[in-house]
Structure 1
Amino acid sequence: MTDHSTDLTPVLDHVDRTLEESLSRLFGLLRIPSVSTRPEHAGDCRAAAQWLCRELEEIGFSARVCETPGHPVVVAHDRTPPEGPHVLFYGHYDVQPVDPLNLWHSDPFEPVMVTRDDGARQIVARGASDDKGQVMTFIEALRAIRATRGAMPVRISLVIEGEEESGGPNLVPFLMEHRDELAADIGLICDTGMLGATPAVTTALRGMVGEEVTLKCATRDLHSGIYGNAARNPIELLCTILASVRDHESGRVTLPGFYEGVREPSPELRARWREIAPDDATFLGAVGLSQPAGEKGYTAIEQTWCRPSFEINGISGGYTGEGFKTVLPAMASAKVSFRLVAGQDPVRVRESFCSHVRAALPEDCTVEFAPHGGSGACVVADDATGLRPALAALGAEWGVPAVTIGCGGSIPVAADMRNILGMSALLIGFAQDDDRAHSPDEKYDLVSFHKGIRSWVRILHAIAAGARD
């Protein structure tokens, strides 16, 4: 019979004693340049999947590398699962490109430990925080439990994909094809963060619609002295159309029906968030800002955690190289995104945006659209299975009460777990806002890695105990 006793001291002591070994394994995974968006790294993505498969086999899991039309998915199940709740852990082994390389202070795929002036130690490498370091907190917790107790406290399965950073085009078909195998009681996702020193479970994620729009006017680039004024400028036109998507007095998106189904946060929830961030500078100060720029009447945290948004992510056209060229471009492009909240339909939002652009086009101009993914928002109920035990376990490890928070980002797999596999997902991560994920010198605090491992030990046992109560 599995020992579910509340004394976790032997397991946690093992985590502490073997931290250097855990770091060595993490560094081994970080050295694999598994950049999913670059075709030349396809072999590296496969190598990362195989590396994870070997590690999971070593700690008593039946693991395999599953083929997809893109990069492979790792699936693993405990060979000797106990009775009780079944959890499915999700993570990803792929990473973002490292560009611009010249802004890194060390080789992005040769991890280093850096000590700050205050003595804090940080692991610097691409993927240290997003998401290899986070994935390894869970795997190292499983290793410690196996080494000290032999059996897991709950049934555990894992699915670790390799295309999260490139839109995850093959994950939904994979989950649908393997729905029966992957069905569980609780989803666990380690791809989020903490509030400074306060542990958190993310219970609200925004969805997203990504779109690329290209306007074409003249048949070729023109001399602006000869054709300026007379010929339509697609950059100017594109800027005018995109600017009209938001009302700059109220901050609201102007697309018809955009706010249909959007609910106001409850007074209790808004009060709880004000305790977390008493003023807007608390949230924006770290990036040199102090005033929220979105909808009037909502704090910066509310604007990102529970309100939808429209953003222009990039715009291009004409001449942008060295020197100066008086060209009137023939085309202009922009990449835009909408972050969605519960109640909004990604398909309807995309259609509304495309219709808005088409309606604003003058004669002689054409438009092309290229979609870049879409997903709905995901909200976890306060009484979701495992939530209360997880919060208690996090509080016990970090020494302060854990909180539930929202997240302005989008992690589509949370909604996929709900819609395809029929389970709620708890988003529990140990990243910090200054981890520079997707940026040069990405890092993961050593304390995040160390206490992250310890946290998962506590969480898995707390879920087991909660199921018996």
Structure 2
Amino acid sequence: MNYSVYFEQNRELHLEELKQWLSIPSISALSEHKEDVNRAASWLADKLTLAGLENVEIIPTQGHPLVYAEHLHAPGKPTLLIYGHYDVQPVDPLHLWQTPPFEPAIRDNKIYARGATDDKGQVFMHIKAVEAILRQEGQLPVNIKFFIEGEEEVSSPNLLDYLSKGADRLTADAVLISDTALIEKGKPAICTGLRGLCSLEVAVHTANTDLHSGSFGGGVPNALHAMVSLLASLHDNQGAVSVAGFYDDVEPLSPAMKEEFAKQGVDEETLRTGLGLETLYGEDDYSFVERVGARPTLELNGVYGGFQGEGTKTVIPKEAHAKITCRLVANQNPQDILDKIERHLREHIQPGARLEIIQGEKANAFNIDPSHPMLQSAADAFERVYGTRAVFTKDGGSIPIVETFSRVLAAPVVLMGFGLPDENLHAPNEHFHLENFDKGLLTIIEYLKAL
């Protein structure tokens, strides 16, 4: 079957359908858009039905609905669970959009709208690929399950609850997710690792009131001094984390993985100048892509306290605050890391200061061996369409549901994305390059047939 001709003949129809979906403001974080989210779920369910999927169901939750569909008529063949999300981020600041975020527009072979690349555009490709095979051949080469949620942008609270109760329905030989990106134009990638996450808030308290620095300076503890000293103790001069045991469960990078990182071809000098930095920074003996993709971090996200207005106020502040997050890798346990950080902070607090610590969110890292046949087949599919084999990468970000799928379903997760890093996901003027829309459809078909 010549799928290139099929998709070319149906391209305008497919793009018009995608525009319909992108026009629905399914912003999961804002309660005033609850009906829009429901409308987006209904639109999705209708398209899955029209594509030829069966047992299509909108599953209510305490929040936004899940959408399920299946086509299980390939006995003895693998079953693939396709996951994605139909909810989108808020659009502020609105004045920075060149065209309204929910009035999709095509410019320079890119489709502009909120959700274009994250994740409606990429989910839509899977629907159209399955639909194309069914219309051209009448039978899928593998068994397919679709499971699309409406709360990914708010951390998937009800999906996690559903998985804890009904994972049997989602049993599959692999999970396929398109919510990531190529390295750059024409250079596909398959992500084999996502960092985990943990967070905490720290407060330092001293006196019961702010004090005059002339009357009390030098004789009482200063909450800001104590906080700055405490935070400085968390790293050495090269950026390595100084918390005892922080790296205990971090696996060394294999030679094969270091080679995959090198294939990304990141020019650190171009990166440095583009960011306006005098130098990049981080652990010795690791490249930039290794530091941000395969090494854990401890970052200060906010530090505040004392007088911050215009001019000078000679005050000794009674309290100071900090927000900290860690990106975690491999076998690091988020709770274990939080406990080690809390122990370090309590051991290093200055005399006369009291410490208050609130532990926050926790998410495990995801890691998969790139030699897995399901990933190798995906790399082959990319090569047949793009003319170059996908590079195996590790992403510095966190998508907690990926690790959950891997663990709960005991199935490999194939992160086969078709976005580009510069497509402004979560920002004004989000867009999706239609070159990757076109090639992505063919790549998905190649992958399904390869399985």
TM-score by length of 2: 0.90
2:21 equivalent among 10, 16, 29: 29
Q: Tell me which of 118, 133, 137 is aligned to 1:130.
A: 118
SS in 1 for 2:56: strand
CA contact (8 A) 2:405 2:411 kept: yes
SS in 2 for 1:170: helix
| Amino acid of the structure 1 residue aligned with 2:381 | A
Distance 2:135 2:7 in 1: 10
Counterpart of 2:197 in structure 1: which amino acid?
A: M
Aligned counterpart, 1:404: 392
Q: Are residues 22 and 253 of structure 1, via their aligned partners in 2, closer, same or farther at CA, if it must alter by over 3 Å? A: same
Q: What's the counterpart of residue 139 of structure 2?
A: 151
The aligned counterpart of 1:211 is: 200
Aligned to 2:230: 241
Distance 1:50 1:235, change over 3 A: farther
1:110 and 2:99 correspond: no
Give 1:340's aligned residue: 328
CA distance in 2, matches of 1:290, 1:132: 39
Distance apart, 1:211 and its partner CA? 2.8
Counterpart contact for 1:93–1:131, Cα < 8 Å: yes
- State the secondary structure of the residue aligned to 1:107: coil
Displacement after TM superposition at 1:36 (Å): 2.2
Deviation at 1:248, TM superposition (A): 2.2
* Structure 2 CA distance for partners of 1:444 and 1:286, relative to 1, 3 Å: farther
Residue 78 of structure 2 corresponds to residue 50 of structure 1: no
Q: Cα distance 1:330–1:128, how it changes in 2: closer, same or farther (>3 A)?
A: farther
Give the paired residue count.
Answer: 447
CA distance in 2, matches of 1:20, 1:101: 28
Alignment of 1:100 with 2:93, yes or no, is yes
Once residues 218 and 26 of structure 2 are traced to their aligned partners in structure 1, the CA distance between those partners, rounded to angstroms, is: 49
1:72 is aligned to: 65
**What letter corresponds to residue 195 of structure 2 in structure 1?**
R
Q: Could you give the per-residue CA deviations for residues 166-195 of structure 1, whole angstroms, max 9, x where no partner exists?
A: 222232221121111101001111111111
**1:421: Cα distance to partner?**
0.5
Match of 1:314 among 284, 302, 305: 302
Q: Following TM superposition, by how much is the alpha carbon of 1:328 offset from its aligned partner in structure 2, in angstroms?
A: 6.4
Structure 2: gaps spanning 5 or more residues:
none
Query: Matches of residues 447-458 of structure 1 in structure 2 within 5 Å?
Result: 447-458=435-446
Tell me the residue number matched to 1:13: 5
Q: 1:104 Cα shift? A: 2.5
Matches within 5 A, 1:35-434: 35-61=27-53, 62-78=55-71, 80=73, 83-115=76-108, 121-196=109-184, 197-217=186-206, 234-249=223-238, 251-277=239-265, 279-281=267-269, 287-289=275-277, 291-317=279-305, 326=313, 331-361=319-349, 362-363=351-352, 365-372=354-361, 374-434=362-422
Distance 1:187 1:315, change over 3 A: same
For residues 103-146 of structure 1, what are the alpha-carbon distances to aligned partners after superposition, in whole Å with 9 as ceiling and x for unaligned? 3223222222222xxxxx22222222221222112122122222
Structure 1 vs Structure 2 CA RMSD: 2.7
Q: Counterparts of 1:330 and 1:41 in 2: how far apart (Å)?
A: 42
Which SS does the other structure have where 2:411 is aligned? Answer: coil
Secondary structure at the aligned position of 2:157 is classed as coil
Shift of 1:27: 1.8
Judging changes above 3 Å, is the alpha-carbon distance between structure 1 residues 225 and 50 closer, same or farther for their aligned structure 2 residues?
Answer: farther
Amino acid at match of 1:275: K
For 1:223 and 1:67, how far apart are their aligned partners in 2? 58
Contact 1:277 1:283 in 2 (8 A): no
Asked if structure 1 preserves the Cα contact closer than 8 Å seen for 2:80 and 2:172, the reply is: yes
Report the secondary structure of 1:386's partner residue: helix
Q: Distance between the aligned counterparts of 1:153 and 1:290, measured in 2?
A: 53
User: Which moved further from structure 2: 75-84 or 440-449?
Assistant: 75-84
Amino acid in the other structure paired with 1:297: D
> Relative to structure 1, is the Cα distance of residues 217 and 275 closer, same or farther in structure 2, using a 3 angstrom cutoff?
same
Per-residue deviation, residues 253-278 of structure 1 (Å, max 9, x unmatched): 11111101212212333233223226
TM-score by length of 1: 0.87
Deviates more, 1:448-457 or 1:297-306: 448-457
**CA displacement, residues 204-238 of structure 1 (integer Å, 9 cap, x when unaligned):** 22212133334455556777787777776545544
> 1:262-298: per-residue Cα shift (whole Å, max 9, x none)?
1221233323322322642365565455843111111
Q: Which amino acid is 2:300 matched to?
A: I
Identity among equivalent positions (%) equals: 37
Can you give the 5+ residue segments of structure 1 that lack an aligned partner in the other structure?
Answer: 1-7, 116-120, 464-469
CA contact (8 A) 1:280 1:290 kept: no
Deviates more, 1:274-283 or 1:254-263: 274-283
Deviations 1:55-100 (A, max 9, x none): 1122122221222232222122126455410001111122222223
Aligned with 1:18: secondary structure? helix
